[in-house]
Amino acid sequence: MEAHLTELQHFLPTSYYLPTRATDNRSPLTAFGTVLHYPHHKTIFAKGDEASFFFGVINGAIRLSTTAANGDRTIAGFALPGDFFGIQWLGQHTLTAETIDDATLVCFGSKRLARLSDENKVIRAELFSILRHSLWATQNHLANVSRHCAQERVATFLVELMDRSKKVNRRDVDVPMSRQDIGDYVGLTIETVCRVLTELRQKKIIDIPNRREIVIRNEPALRAVAQPES
Amino acid sequence: MEAHLTELQHFLPTSYYLPTRATDNRSPLTAFGTVLHYPHHKTIFAKGDEASFFFGVINGAIRLSTTAANGDRTIAGFALPGDFFGIQWLGQHTLTAETIDDATLVCFGSKRLARLSDENKVIRAELFSILRHSLWATQNHLANVSRHCAQERVATFLVELMDRSKKVNRRDVDVPMSRQDIGDYVGLTIETVCRVLTELRQKKIIDIPNRREIVIRNEPALRAVAQPES
DNA sequence: CGCTGCTTTGACAACGCTCAAAGATAGTGG
DNA sequence: CCACTATCTTTGAGCGTTGTCAAAGCAGCG
């Protein structure tokens, strides 16, 4: 585990979704972590593993999932640049974290962080904020998956991806996850995800130049599909 | 807002679901709260309200929900005796909390709690633990709702209710929420919930003596329906 | 260049939703 | 105390959306 503290200068702004958080703050945590590189399709930790570390994403994409006894996989969320995941004071991780892309992460030892947070009010507030944000995002996702039709779910996923994108031109969305991942995230089969995507393409709402890129051609229309009025 | 600190003696053990937490601990928070009584079908706070207070349930049942623009309601969870809800350092509540039953709650002022947690390590750890538990429960619920059939969802709901029950005879489950509430919780229509319940009754897995009581006649069978093998 | 794995499209069946109506229960007033 | 009413629950019939199964298309990689 090598430390490249100089690289922490590149750590991206924390993007929280929470309306109360400014999106242009760098996290106060960045000064204390260790930078690590992971190749794609690598398990960072598995559900049930002792939670010795906690991570922030500098670059790449992570999927956080749980797999049932019958093999059904649920992806609870994706961690993108600026996000944190695996926060767990002590005890075990409740989800499995795997890289989708090659990824650069910042890693924090749980014990060290616990000590730091006892001493430092700012760190403490930051950790609490991260945890609250995770809860908020999960609740939102639950509401999306719980009672919406296929079109609404996929459209909501795309809007989310667009809004979280760090790109200048947000219309050109990078899709690092596979169709299967999307399906496991929104609670649909891979076939239904494909069908919805082609439908949106036929309606000229999106374009699909290649499998890991989606262009939003008509953002208002996409948002309308995601959040049906009345 | 009256204080009845003596009543806090009756505060129930915190029941966390988390395997790492003992279920027979009283929460260290109980010494600092104010006891309040709410009648049934009363709003405690609404989504978007300034989060000045945070609550623990002594008695009764609370539903935590969010309602979409089109009127669709999603119930993110139920708070039962021993549970906490509405934890939000500052900013706004992300869900609406309403009583289902008449309820006795302990109420904590956010500012006071923030001050206490800065001074007291035990309180701090407790709050963190409560928040982590909420996240864990929501992730679990998401996995249940995301990709399971109607029978599995309703059976999982019943198992959950049974396991959280404080009764000596856990087979005899109190169901304070309406069928509509159950539907909004597991992501099904009220009709489907009813159909599944009658199906389970016909299979002699449960009995339904009245609308707010369900008797588990065959617990292994119910658990099998909830978690299909292979 | 051919393989492998992922994605897309199609046909069909099934599960759950919608609409409708009857049945049960609780709350209210005579 | 009972009848009446409003609300909630249960059951039924038909339809639509999504899942299943199958096969073709496509892209990356040795």
| Inter-chain CB proximity B147 and A187 less than 8 Å | yes
CA distance A146 to A151: 13
**Confidence at residue B230, expressed as pLDDT on a 0 to 100 scale:** 46
Backbone angles phi, psi at A209, to 5 degrees: -60, -40
Residue B14 in this model has a pLDDT that exceeds 60? no
Mean of the per-residue pLDDT values of chain B: 85
CA distance B126 to B116: 12
CA distances from A195 to A46, A155, A179, B195 (A): 32, 12, 11, 31
Could you read off the pLDDT of B75-121 as tens digits, one per residue?
A: 999 999 999 999 876 689 999 999 999 999 999 998 888 888 888 88
Tokens representing B218? 């065959």
**Confidence at residue A15, expressed as pLDDT on a 0 to 100 scale:** 35
**Residues B62, B146: contact at Cβ < 8 Å?**
no
Which residues of B are less than 8 Å from A146 in CB distance?
74, 145, 187
**Confidence at residue B89, expressed as pLDDT on a 0 to 100 scale:** 67
Which residue approaches C8 most closely, CA to C1'? A194
A218 Cβ neighbours under 8 A, 6+ residues apart: A204, A205, A206
Could you tell me where the DSSP H helices lie in A120-205?
Answer: 121-146, 150-164, 179-186, 190-202
Element (H, E) at B222: helix B219-226
A132 interface with B at CB cutoff 8 Å: yes
**Residues A124, B131: contact at Cβ < 8 Å?**
no
Q: Which of residues 76-105 of A touch B (CB under 8 A)?
A: 76, 87-92, 94-95
B183, HSE (Cβ side, Cα atoms, 13 Å): 15
CA distance A190 to A151: 13
| Inter-chain CB proximity B142 and A230 less than 8 Å | no
Residue in the block written with tokens 């969802």 = B153
Selecting from B91, B94, B143 the residue whose C-beta is nearest the C-beta of A139 gives: B94
Q: Which of residues 144-203 of A touch B (CB under 8 A)?
A: 145-148, 184, 187
**Residues B86, B97: contact at Cβ < 8 Å?**
yes
| A206, β-bridge pairs | A216
**Residues A101, A41: contact at Cβ < 8 Å?**
no
Direct distance between the N- and C-terminal alpha carbons of chain B, in angstroms, rounded to an integer:
53
**Residues B61, B137: contact at Cβ < 8 Å?**
no
**Confidence at residue A10, expressed as pLDDT on a 0 to 100 scale:** 37
Chain A's closest residue to B88, CA to CA, is A132
**Confidence at residue A171, expressed as pLDDT on a 0 to 100 scale:** 87
Residue B136 in this model has a pLDDT that exceeds 80? yes
Count CB-CB contacts under 10 A for residue B212: 14
* Strand ranges across the sheet with B43-45: B43-45, B96-99, B62-67, B73-79
Which residues does chain A have with pLDDT short of 70? 1-28, 30-31, 89-90, 228-230
3-state secondary structure of A173: strand
Could you read off the pLDDT of B47-76 as tens digits, one per residue?
A: 999 999 999 999 999 999 999 988 899 999
Judge if pTM exceeds 0.85.
yes
Residue B176 in this model has a pLDDT that exceeds 50? yes
* For residues B161-171, average pLDDT: 83
**Which of A146, A152, A153, A156 best probes binding to B when mutated, by most B CB atoms within 10 angstroms?**
A146
| Inter-chain CB proximity A135 and B136 less than 8 Å | no
**Confidence at residue A146, expressed as pLDDT on a 0 to 100 scale:** 92
A208 Cβ neighbours under 8 A, 6+ residues apart: A197, A201, A214, A215
Which residues of B are less than 8 Å from A124 in CB distance?
124
**Residues A158, A173: contact at Cβ < 8 Å?**
yes
The pairing of strands A172-174 and A62-67 is unpaired
A211 interface with B at CB cutoff 8 Å: no
Percent of chain B with pLDDT over 70: 84
Distance B107 CA to D9 C1' (A): 35
